[in-house]
Structure 1
Amino acid sequence: MAKDKSYSSATLTRDEPAKKTATVTAPPTPKATTTRPSSTVSESNGSAALPFGRRNYQLMLAGIGVILAGFFIMSLDKEEFGFGFLGLTLGPLVVMSGFVLEFFAILARPNKG
């Protein structure tokens, strides 16, 4: 019992061109013009301004130093598995204060000048 494989008559052959359907296009919409503030380019010399000021970068470096100092303090703990005061209390507080300093350094307004 061989079944006859019949194809639907809707299939196209190479000789039959595809039927074109009408497409409806929307009318073009006017583009809204937006202006960007020119805060990234200095008008005096045309160079790009840095996103942070000198004070921001100094605070970021100080924050990195405080974080590293906190990890160093945690490594000084002589108790087993670091369960002493330095490893569980003082070191993590110093590291968290370093991250707070980093957060402040990023959000502080840059100096003008």
Structure 2
Amino acid sequence: MGEQKRKEDIQTDFVFGRKNYTFMLIGLGCIALGFILMSGGGSDDPNVFNPEIFNFRRIRLAPTLVLIGFAIEVYAILLNPNKK
């Protein structure tokens, strides 16, 4: 009976709160979107140069989204879930 009581007293607590995990998912979505926007733009023929790889979306927008996503991840880790 004593062993069963000890099992009931033990609670499993998560390291982060619900708010932390929500921000982590948002940050992960931003990172994934940035990498998706960065992909493509290649050429099927290696002798033909495709200038699409140097457009605004791949050079500025996508890396910015990835960095914003990493910043959100850092914020999610440092966020105190007990603070209202």
Q: TM-score, normalised by structure 1?
A: 0.53
Task: Note if 1:57 corresponds to 2:57.
Answer: no
Corresponding residue of 2:67: 96
Number of residues of Structure 1 aligned to a counterpart in Structure 2 = 68
Q: CA RMSD in A?
A: 2.2
The residue type equivalent to 2:60 in the other structure is: T
Distance 1:89-1:63 versus aligned 2 partners, 3 A rule: same
Task: Note if 1:70 corresponds to 2:34.
Answer: yes
Q: How many angstroms does 1:48 deviate by?
A: 2.7
Higher RCO structure, 1 or 2 (CA under 8 Å, sep 6+): 2
Structure 1 CA distance, aligned partners of 2:36 and 2:15?
Answer: 31
Corresponding residue of 1:10: none
Higher Cα radius of gyration = 1
Q: How many angstroms does 1:75 deviate by?
A: 2.2
Structure 2 stretches of 5 or more lacking a match? 1-8, 43-49
Corresponding residue of 1:87: 58
Task: Give the secondary-structure state (helix, strand or coil) at the position aligned to 1:109.
Answer: coil
Structure 2 CA distance, aligned partners of 1:76 and 1:103?
Answer: 28
Could you say which structure has the higher helix fraction? 2
Q: TM-score, normalised by structure 2?
A: 0.69
Runs of 4+ more than 4 Å apart: 76-79
Identity of aligned residues (%): 41
Structure 1 stretches of 5 or more lacking a match? 1-44
Q: How many angstroms does 1:77 deviate by?
A: 5.4
User: Superposition pairs for residues 5-16 of structure 1, below 5 Å?
Assistant: none
